[in-house]
């Protein structure tokens, strides 16, 4: 199977919709995130007319290399999910199923496959993928490379963070640079890369500030801000726009902390959340705040990007350290330690585990983490079976029901 024709109107529509959402949110001061998303799609729209290269990549690929070489990135999982939501999730899942992608597979990847199969995903000049965060990511890249008949590069991060593993991964990053140089016919401008890495350093610094500020009681940050921060981190790490976005959030959060104000008038529950929220349920995150006074104070899976030293003069080492900070791939114990630490530092009352049905590796850890949280810090965990991208698996109403019951449990423990 090969994709010969691309329907560019699908991408155009998404750029238009994102722009429209940004305009609607401007009055409430919430346009910035949607402006960034819209611009990402617009850059992809303009890539040929501007004579640039387009590289489609999976999650956590260092976009710093792409920005340094003036290559336009297309973040596969995130942007395909947005495209599918704009054009119809049901149709997209059906398309994936029609080509043998069973519903038991992670919906994030099924949507990437669906956008590709239908010829809605723009044709990139190359694909770059890795084993971050799972084996399905690995196979997605293989599939797309063949489907679009484009060159591809697989970035292999070792399982454990050892000196040998670090050196191996640095060599992998060097190979990726060579691949991009061969693709574009240009050499990497290492000075430019250092400039880009300075933005990465700065955004990491601001990210850390935000994470520290969130320890305040009452919680100063909206529930959905962290997922916005991670999405933009993956889309545009190494860009000045990311620094500006993080600084805007940091300033909001800092002001709230200085005034002693919480994001909700009456904070009733402080929650850790584990894994990713269902992408279609941001309204539930808001409802948790407004209806129940439930604030999310930390997300151990997501706030990991604040770890590792970023030295602009040593980009490969810095990016390698950043990659090894990710707990999705690697031994479990460091992650368990981090969860326990954050439960205490952020004074969590309880934990919600978004048990994404398509993710075997994280679901396998649920019981261990749940028991450890109860034994070591005495906080209960609500496990919500759900699907990251498929709303037919569990409805918002059923999740709200479970949350209500969990909040009753937390009330009884007070």
Partner 1 sequence: MLVAGLDMGSLTTKVVILEDNQVLSWRVKTAADEGEVQARRAIEDALKDTGFALQDIGYIVATGAGRKSVSFAHKQRAIGSCLAKGVNRLFPSVRTVIDVGAETCNVVRVNDKGALDDSMGNERCASGTGVFLEAMATRLLHMSLEEMAQRSLLAEGVAEISNMCAIFAEQEVISHVHREPPTPMNDIIAGIHASMATRVGGLAKRVGIKEDVAFTGGVAKNVGFARTLKESLGVELTIPEEPQLIAALGAACVARDESAKKS
The binding site for partner 1 (CB under 8 A) comprises 367, 380, 383, 385, 393-394, 401-402, 404-405, 408-409, 412-413
Residue placing its CB nearer to partner 1 in the complex, 240 or 380: 380
Question: At closest approach, how far in Å is the CB of 362 from partner 1?
Answer: 16
Question: At closest approach, how far in Å is the CB of 408 from partner 1?
Answer: 5
Residue placing its CB nearer to partner 1 in the complex, 166 or 377: 377
**Phi and psi dihedrals of 360, rounded to 5?**
-65, -45
Residue placing its CB nearer to partner 1 in the complex, 99 or 402: 402
Residue placing its CB nearer to partner 1 in the complex, 210 or 339: 339
Residue placing its CB nearer to partner 1 in the complex, 254 or 400: 400
Question: At closest approach, how far in Å is the CB of 385 from partner 1?
Answer: 5
The answer to whether residues 263 and 305 touch, using CB atoms and an 8 Å cutoff, is no
Residue placing its CB nearer to partner 1 in the complex, 11 or 379: 379
Burial of 76 from C-beta contacts in 10 A (0-12 / 13-18 / 19+): buried
Q: What is the 3-state secondary structure (H, E, C) of the chain?
A: CCCCCCCHHHHHHHHHHHHHHHHHHHCCCCCHHHHHHHHHHHHHHCCCCCCCCEEEECCCCCHHHHHHCCCEEEEHHHHHHHHHHHHCHHHHHHHHHHCCCCCCCCHHHHHHHHHHHCCCCCCCCEEEEECCCCHHHHHHHHHHHHHHCCCEEEECCCCCCCHHHHHHHHHHHHHHHHHHHHHHCCCCCHHHHHHHHHHHHHHHHHHHHHHHHCCCCCCCCCCCHHHHHHHHHHHHCCCHHHHHHHHHHHHHHHHHHHHCCCCCCCCCEEEEEECCCCCCCHHHHHHHHHHHCEEEEECCCCHHHHCCCCCCCCHHHHHHHHHHCCCCCCCCHHHHHHHHHHHHHCCCCEEEEEEECCCHHHHCCHHHHHHHHHHHHCCCEEEEEECCCCCCCCCHHHHHHHHHHHHHHHHHHC
Residue placing its CB nearer to partner 1 in the complex, 140 or 381: 381
Question: At closest approach, how far in Å is the CB of 267 from partner 1?
Answer: 21
Residue placing its CB nearer to partner 1 in the complex, 143 or 407: 407
CA distance 194 to 35: 26
Question: At closest approach, how far in Å is the CB of 109 from partner 1?
Answer: 22
How distant, in Å, are the alpha carbons of 59, 124, 262, 398, 405 from that of 410?
Answer: 35, 49, 20, 19, 9
Residue placing its CB nearer to partner 1 in the complex, 92 or 351: 351
Using DSSP bridges, classify how beta strands 126-130 and 152-155 pair: parallel, antiparallel or unpaired: parallel
Residue placing its CB nearer to partner 1 in the complex, 119 or 380: 380
Question: At closest approach, how far in Å is the CB of 238 from partner 1?
Answer: 41
Question: At closest approach, how far in Å is the CB of 292 from partner 1?
Answer: 13
CA distance 319 to 324: 9
CA quadruple 329, 334, 340, 341: dihedral positive or negative? negative
Residue placing its CB nearer to partner 1 in the complex, 55 or 359: 359
Question: At closest approach, how far in Å is the CB of 412 from partner 1?
Answer: 4
């Amino acid at each position: 199977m090969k994709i010969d024709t691309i329907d560019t109107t699908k991408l155009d529509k998404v750029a238009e919709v994102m722009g429209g959402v940004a305009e609607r949110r401007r009055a409430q001061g919430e346009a910035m995130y949607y402006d960034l998303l819209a611009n990402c799609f617009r850059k992809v729209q303009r890539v040929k007319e501007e004579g640039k290269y387009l590289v489609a990549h999976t999650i956590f690929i260092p976009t710093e290399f792409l920005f340094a070489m003036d290559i336009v990135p297309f973040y596969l999982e995130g942007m395909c999910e947005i495209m599918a939501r704009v054009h119809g999730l049901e149709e997209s899942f059906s398309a994936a199923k029609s080509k043998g992608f069973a519903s038991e597979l992670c919906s994030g990847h099924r949507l990437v496959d669906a956008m590709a199969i239908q010829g809605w995903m723009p044709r990139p000049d190359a694909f770059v993928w890795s084993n971050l965060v799972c084996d399905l990511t690995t196979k997605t890249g293989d599939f797309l490379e063949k489907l679009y008949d484009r060159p591809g590069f697989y970035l292999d991060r070792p399982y454990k963070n050892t000196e040998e593993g670090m050196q191996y991964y640095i060599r992998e990053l060097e190979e990726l640079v060579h691949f991009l140089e061969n693709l574009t016919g240009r050499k990497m401008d290492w000075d430019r890369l250092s400039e880009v890495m300075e933005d990465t350093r700065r955004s990491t610094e601001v990210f850390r500030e935000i994470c520290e500020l969130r320890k305040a009681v009452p919680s100063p940050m909206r529930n959905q801000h962290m997922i916005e921060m991670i999405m933009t981190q993956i889309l545009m790490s190494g860009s000045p726009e990311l620094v500006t976005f993080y600084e805007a959030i940091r300033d909001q959060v800092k002001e709230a902390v200085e005034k002693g104000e919480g994001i909700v008038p009456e904070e009733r529950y402080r929650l850790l959340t584990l894994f990713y929220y269902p992408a279609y349920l941001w309204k539930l995150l808001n409802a948790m705040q407004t209806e129940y006074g439930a604030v999310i104070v930390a997300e151990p899976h997501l706030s990991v990007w604040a770890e590792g030293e970023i030295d602009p003069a040593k980009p490969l080492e810095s990016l390698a350290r950043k990659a090894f900070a990710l707990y999705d791939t690697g031994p479990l114990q460091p992650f368990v330690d981090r969860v326990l630490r954050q439960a205490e530092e952020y004074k969590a009352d309880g934990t919600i585990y978004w048990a994404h049905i398509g993710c075997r590796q994280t679901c396998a850890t649920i019981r261990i983490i749940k028991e450890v949280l109860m034994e070591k810090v005495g906080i209960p965990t609500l496990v919500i079976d759900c699907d990251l991208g498929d709303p037919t698996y569990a409805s918002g109403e059923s999740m709200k029901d479970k949350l209500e019951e969990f909040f009753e449990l937390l009330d009884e423990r007070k």
